[in-house]
Amino acid sequence: MQVYKTIKTVKKDHLDELNHVNNVRYVQWVQDIAKAHWENYASNEIRDQNLWVLLSHHIEYKGAALLGDTIQLKTYVESYHGATCIRIVKMYLDKKCIVKSQTKWCLISKNNKRPIRISSEIVELFH
């Protein structure tokens, strides 16, 4: 399984009224790392023909991050079924998992916006 990683440093505009990273920001980071993972491994040709749409999202908040904290984000695709996949995103602060997300994505054709079966070529990109 291909694990994609990135780092985020908490900035003032990431914070809520409790001075913790806003939950909405974590959700945005889940989407951002999924997109970056796709763009990093899929060829231009594959990306020109396909899009991912989010079907469902489950997130667990296990800790809080504060201004100046450095968060490591990791993502991987856990499973595939037909046109859908399950993606996991975990966020770590000092090696402690503070956020875990499980999202279900559907692959669609850019041409007609209809779901399409995930090809073995796409599966191989992430394994």
Name the domain count of the chain: 1
CB burial readout 4-24, b (16+ within 10 A) else e: beeebebeeebbeeeebbeee
CATH number at residue 118: 3.10.129.10
pLDDT one-digit tens code per residue, 11-69: 999 999 999 999 999 999 999 999 999 999 999 999 999 999 999 999 999 999 999 99
Full-model pTM: 0.94
Domain that holds residue 10: 4-125
